A and B are shown apart, each in its own frame.
Chain A
Amino acid sequence: MPQKVLYWKGCMSRFRTKTIADSIERLLTLLNVDYTTLGEKEGCCGSVLYRTGQTADALSVSKNTLEKISSLNIKDVVTGCPGCFRTMSQDYTNAFRSVPFKVRHISQFLFDMQGELRGHLRPIEAKVVYHDPCHLGRHMGVYEEPRALIKMIPKVDLLEFKYNRNKALCCGSGGGVRSAFPEISLEISKSTLGELPEGTDILVTACPFCKYNFVEGNNRKIKIEIVDLPELILRACGG
């Protein structure tokens, strides 16, 4: 029997990019995944504290979260946020040695369920570009699963940024820059969007922070649609 899954939403999807969390929950339901969330009690993974040098607080917050998740006795955690994914995978292991659960990013989770997923996917006729989020790609080495999922959607034409995978440009919101210097984040978002190949219809990312920041920077004359990976997959599933 498949184990119960904890869907860890992450703060961005709980408060700012709620459609990402909704899409993930609907996909999990569609795929008959036995999952739960921590709801109001979710709390913080500690990522932003680690990334802004507030190490002591990061440690205490993440220890708390580690204990909270461990007490559920769930071994399988899935999240849509690459920041949470990296923190729980790398920083937790560095700080606490043993982590009694495995975390997957939603792109890995859906990729692993492609057998169940494939039958639901209906065509989307569009030129799609995938943006590699820094935390997911460079920091965690997940480059191919999101691309494979996008290519599974019939009729999608997957294009690439000139600089992709380990050379991908940043969306501009990482590392606490968006809160410290919002102007810089915006400029970087615009400059990365400026690298999109001619004719792009949809920019797909797999990170709530990237999505949020790209939407902010997307003020070009011909607007490009910016969606998160689970949102695109749900759309292909007719949702």
Chain B
Amino acid sequence: MSDDWFSSKRDEFIKWLHDENRRRGLSRAVSSYTAARDYALSCLPHLEKIRKEVRKIKEYAVEQMDELRKIASERITESHGNAYFARDANEARKIFLELVGSNKIVVKSKSLVTEEIHLNGALERNGNKIFETDLGEFIIQIRGEKPTHIINPSVHVPKEEVAKTFSKLLGREVKPDIPELVGVAREYLRDKFCKADIGITGANVVAANTGTLFIIENEGNARFVSNAPPVHICITGIEKLVPTLEDAFKVVQVLPPYATGILMSAYVSMITSPSRTADIEKTLVYGAHGPKELHVIFLDNGRSRMLRDPLMKEALYCLRCGGCMYECPAYRVLGGSFGHNYFGGIGIIWSAFTAGEDKVAAAIDACMKCGRCKEVCPLEIDVPKMIECLKSRLVEKGYLADKHRMIKENILKTGNPFGE
């Protein structure tokens, strides 16, 4: 095997290590996140109990993913929505293309799953115009970059760089003043929400017993996206399903403090059906002030395979709070290069199942198995154990760094890794 798989990742790593701008953005974010989270947790002592309950809920829910999906789909259909099941990224894109068609204006709120299935490119090639409306996603969309953190996708872009990007977009000088930068995005995106034909969102958790989608956010853009356009399409992984509304509310309490260090998010939207009214002669009409149509796509794309893999199943419990990434010593210096379509240790496992093991064959060698992620994870997911297991599988496939092979040969020959 040639060593391209290794050397190309190494080059990417080195670029990150030496990129002062990205490193500065990242380290500012890390210190404000950790301080905020520590404070939030100190204000919410009862969360210790709830996060343990959430672990139990997830342990149970992932075993029933299929069943929960069927229940949720029935509920959604009953309340005049449409539910779909996509086995893989390809099927998901097909469903989207049929629903969206061409020449449409699409607004999106942040969704990792749409990254996972490479949705934007597919929609654009069909002649649609897409606007990312989450500020971080918006910044990297106009910069033509990839997200580098699951909660804060533009975590690597410091304000000075954002100012440059916005200046170019508007053709006038924008100062690197954070409130002013936020104002620019607000002004630019405001009318896009109302002009859009379709709004696309993800979901943070889905209650199967009512078919209710929960969308947690702070900016208020997901509300616009899921409410202003006449059609709302939501795509979510099947591992996001929990049995009941009550379970979902527990997840909703755990996410904000761990994700962004706040006690509760500014907005939690619960969406169960298209907008409706029967105020005139008790005649039911869909599409009052909100969308006429609601489409929910449940995505598998490797998740059932994860469930059937006893050593990797635990990864399905991940709430995508992103907390472990900020706390990961490797992520702190490597940022978005430490992973593939998902980041950090848990992201390596997720990338392996959703994009392919070979995609993380080299990235995994930057994990020190220090175990810090497990300590800070609200669900105590044993990421290092899964990493060691995946690494061992990769080695069996021949993905072994030259240096590691040399160490082995030295040990076998001389009894020590130095060959002395």
Q: Spell out A's residues near B (CB within 8 Å).
A: 11, 14-16, 41-44, 48-55, 57, 61, 134, 138-139, 166-170, 172-177, 179-181, 183-184, 187-188, 191-192
A85 to B56 CA separation, bound complex (whole angstroms): 33
Which residue of the partner chain A has the closest CB to B394? A53
Which residue of the partner chain A has the closest CB to B365? A180
Contacts of A167 in B (CB 8 A): 372, 375-376
Q: Are A166 and B369 in contact (CB under 8 A)?
A: no
Q: Are A179 and B404 in contact (CB under 8 A)?
A: yes
**B238-246, B295-303, B405-413 - interface stretch:** B405-413
Interface residues on B, range: 35 or more
Q: Are B368 and A173 in contact (CB under 8 A)?
A: yes
Residue contacts A-B, CB under 8 angstroms, 22 given? A11-B418, A15-B416, A15-B418, A16-B418, A42-B415, A48-B407, A52-B365, A52-B391, A138-B370, A138-B371, A138-B374, A168-B372, A170-B370, A172-B368, A176-B407, A177-B365, A177-B366, A181-B13, A183-B17, A184-B13, A184-B334, A187-B17
Q: Is B183 interfacial (CB 8 A cutoff)?
A: no
Q: Are B367 and A184 in contact (CB under 8 A)?
A: no
User: 8 Å CB contacts to A: which residues of B346-371?
Assistant: 365-371
User: Known: A49-B408, A174-B370, A181-B10. Contact between A191 and B329, CB under 8 A?
Assistant: yes
**Inter-chain pairs besides A134-B371, A180-B366, 17 sampled, C-beta below 8 Å:** A41-B415, A44-B411, A44-B416, A52-B404, A52-B407, A134-B368, A167-B376, A169-B370, A169-B372, A174-B368, A174-B369, A176-B403, A179-B401, A184-B17, A184-B330, A187-B17, A191-B332
Q: Are B388 and A51 in contact (CB under 8 A)?
A: yes
A166 to B400 CA separation, bound complex (whole angstroms): 30
Q: Are B388 and A50 in contact (CB under 8 A)?
A: yes
Q: Is B417 interfacial (CB 8 A cutoff)?
A: yes
Q: Is B169 interfacial (CB 8 A cutoff)?
A: no
A43 to B329 CA separation, bound complex (whole angstroms): 31
Q: Is B266 interfacial (CB 8 A cutoff)?
A: no
A139 to B384 CA separation, bound complex (whole angstroms): 10
A175 to B403 CA separation, bound complex (whole angstroms): 13
Q: Which of B368, B407, B411 contacts A175 (CB 8 A)?
A: B368
Contacts of A192 in B (CB 8 A): 329
Contacts of B416 in A (CB 8 A): 11, 14-15, 43-44
Q: Which of A134, A175, A179, A187 contacts B333 (CB 8 A)?
A: A187
Contacts of B412 in A (CB 8 A): 57, 61
A138 to B14 CA separation, bound complex (whole angstroms): 29
User: 8 Å CB contacts to A: which residues of B2-18?
Assistant: 10, 13-14, 17
Contacts of A16 in B (CB 8 A): 418
Q: Is B395 interfacial (CB 8 A cutoff)?
A: yes
Contacts of B417 in A (CB 8 A): 11, 44, 48
Q: Is B102 interfacial (CB 8 A cutoff)?
A: no
Q: Is B21 interfacial (CB 8 A cutoff)?
A: no
Which residue of the partner chain B has the closest CB to A134? B370
Which residue of the partner chain B has the closest CB to A42? B415
Q: Is B392 interfacial (CB 8 A cutoff)?
A: yes
Contacts of A138 in B (CB 8 A): 370-372, 374-375
Identify which of B367, B370, B411 gathers the most chain A CB atoms within 10 Å of its CB: B370
User: Known: A44-B417, A179-B403. Contact between A166 and B367, CB under 8 A?
Assistant: no
Q: Report the minimum CB–CB distance from A14 to chain B (whole Å).
A: 7
